[in-house]
Amino acid sequence: MRDPLASGGCSATTAAACFPGNRIPASRIHPISLKLLQYYPLPNRPDPRNNYIHTAKDYDVWDSYVFKVDHKLNSKNSLTVRYQYRDADNTAPFAGSDLAISPTYSDDNRSLFGVDYTRLFSPTLVPEYRAGFSRNATKEREAFQGRNIAKELGIPGTTDDPLLTGFPLFTVLDHMAIGAAAAQPVQHHVTTLQASTKFTWVKSRHVMKWGFDIERVRFNQPFFNNARGTFNFQRNWTNHSIGDFLLGMMQSTTRTAVVTRNYLRMTTMGAFFNDDFKVRKSLTLNLGLRYELDLPPSERYGRAGNWVAEFQKVILADDKHFPELPQRVAEYNLQDRVALARDVGFPRSLIHADFVNFAPRLGFAWRTFAKRTTVLRGGYGIFYTGHLLNPMRMSLMTGFPFSVNQTFSRQASDPTLVTLSNPFPEQRATETSTTNGNGYDPRPPTGYLQSYSLTIERDLGRGMALEVGYLGSKGTHLGRQYDINQPFRTLELYQANQPFPRPYPGLNTINYYSFGSNSNYNAGQISLRRRGRGFFYRLNYSFSKSIDDASQITGNSAGGVAGAQNARDLKSERGRSDFDRRHIATAVFSLPVPFGRNQRFFCQVRGWRQGLIGGWVLSGTATYYSGQAFTVTSADVDVNLGESQRPNRLGSGIQSVIPGAGKRGVDYPFFRLQDFEKVPRCAARDICEPSPNGFTPFAFGNSGRNILDGPTHRFVNLALMKNFRFEGKRNFQFRYEVFNIANHANFLCPTGNSTPSAAA
């Protein structure tokens, strides 16, 4: 345990700068650290690696209301009006920390309104006109919102805004974080306006449909992220993260000193033609073509910026509503790195639209000659993806110059800076977005999915049918985000004390969205169903595999990892999709309870007794999922010292169940930690950790993406219901439902960290 105020070394060979007995004197422990220690619970498990387990209650309550009126104006005109409202109150107990000390509460209100008008021109020609809107209003807050925890602890420099105050976030290397989620509070409103027209014309053996639709989306959300600040403790002061924490000496702090607000607007349009052509009684063809135009979203007030490789500049949408822009740019001497969209021929959206989006559709249904009890169906279609608003908002509309996001890094020669007493010293301040960048391909092709299927269905008699099929898809031009400016890190440059060069000098990380990823999905499916007198059941099984090189545009999905380990070899990211589950089995049933008239028990009852015990229906569902794919990673790596995001793989990594050892993933690691070795690091220019298997620093780990399976999931749900009929057209339904009746614990994917102190 090194004393950062002492001179000399502290290692296995010298103890000149070590704390005596590797113990920090009580007088040196920072008083704010003592207050924060109170939020760390005592261990409740004997395992030194996973010594604490905690459960928390997740309260989720929602109410849904539906209003619908169908009115026939006359013999040729009808009108439908519908409105639905859903109010949900949800809890995320572990949102900020696995200690569950500051859960996040959300109030999610959703409204849906629509009007349909149908005009019968003739028995064979029917137009339909539709219009409507939907609105999602979500407000999230952490448990301490409105309470200035930083002020109570004695930490200066954080926000005093009552809307933004709460519990700051404290991260400690290899230990659980303390505090609330940095992104809180969240307030967003999404309003979607829609209008469409569809015509249906029956002509001989053709049923033709054509029409068009238009949609306008308004997405409003303020950027409040990290207003309370994030305080990061590593191990560079004392050689131990808890030592740094006790002394109150941080590696870095970050905060959003000035927030911004985003108002996105987007318009999409489409038109289609479809023909169901009955070639003969046993064969029907479905032929169609759809055209889609997804105009890129724009910020209402021009507060958007896109780093464009063509100019090696940040292109800003507009300066009309940003009078302080020249001052902000001059403050950081960035006049030659910033340009306006109108000056370089870019639209205000900063992204050029893709106008070539034609989607053909083809399908058929053929009743074969085998006694007309077998049907062969197939289809092919193209479906476009459109734009995802929130990733674009976060990347292009929340950084410099619209908000002030600051980073304060430690100075090894001055231990009084970046401490709990002085977390935001001005002389260590850098504005993150002036040294980093965010880019989005300015001419992106629209991503699309080709979907194809072939099924054969056989009537087995007595209400039973068997269906066997194949389903596949191929995604093209899918989006992904990665650091396009990743440094060229080598051991030789490190040992020579030379900076690591970047493809685009003058900037550090450039998180860039490109659209060259693809996906491939194949599945075999089998289904058996039967419908009889009052009962029904269906059994389904699917064997599938999904492969891609990026499962989400940001890479942040359960089991997945963000970005790319090697930005210059994106194909090395190809592997199982984050959501890939090899086996899926489901069952659905509904059957009458054998009580009451014409049933096996109490068949003679009449009157009110029949009304009480007869007519009940029992239904249920059962689901089995095999484990979701996940990626093994290394915890808390420092790539500038030679480490890698992923470890080196030595074995399969599959952990067998250990009899008597408890629950896998709870009482002992979910996967075999010894099958992975962290890429070694260099503690000094001439001192690098030895690898027992001959691996070297500054090399990418060879462990692939999504190589292991997470826990399986099993659910059984039951429902008991009865319809009570009264005079006239009045009905009342009683329903009693039980979810996960076996009370089986279904776990999420493990963290994937292969470091023993962090694995779970």
Give the pTM.
0.88
Whole-number pLDDT of residue 393: 93
H helix runs in 67-154, sequence order: 149-153
Residues in the chain: 760
- 535-550 in b/e burial notation, b at 16+ Cβ within 10 A? eebbebebebebebbb
pLDDT grade, residue 599 (50/70/90)? confident
Handedness of CA 699, 701, 704, 706 (dihedral sign): negative
- Mean of the per-residue pLDDT values for the chain? 91
pLDDT in tens, 71-118: 999 999 999 999 999 999 999 998 888 888 899 999 999 999 999 999
Q: Residue 263 in contact with residue 438, Cβ under 8 Å? A: no
Tell me what the mean pLDDT of segment 8-24 comes to. Answer: 87
From residue 17, give the alpha-carbon distance in Å to each of 14, 233, 249, 412. 8, 20, 17, 15
pLDDT score of 218 more than 90: yes
H helix runs in 154-199, sequence order: none
Q: Residue 128 in contact with residue 118, Cβ under 8 Å? A: yes
pLDDT in tens, 186-209: 999 999 999 999 999 999 999 999
DSSP secondary structure, 393-417, as one string: HHHHSSSTTTSEEEEEE-BTTBTTS
Dist CA 305 CA 437 (whole Å) = 9
Query: Which residue, 32, 262, 30, is CA-closest to 168?
Result: 32
Dist CA 26 CA 530 (whole Å) = 74
Whole-number pLDDT of residue 560: 72
Query: Which residue, 350, 354, 383, 389, is CA-closest to 266?
Result: 389
Whole-number pLDDT of residue 558: 67
Whole-number pLDDT of residue 576: 94
Tell me what the mean pLDDT of segment 591-610 comes to. Answer: 80
Dist CA 455 CA 284 (whole Å) = 15
Whole-number pLDDT of residue 757: 44
pLDDT in tens, 711-748: 999 999 999 998 887 776 777 888 899 999 999 888 88
Whole-number pLDDT of residue 758: 42
Whole-number pLDDT of residue 557: 65
Residue 305 vs residue 609, higher pLDDT: 305
pLDDT in tens, 25-38: 999 999 999 999 99
Tell me what the mean pLDDT of segment 655-680 comes to. Answer: 88
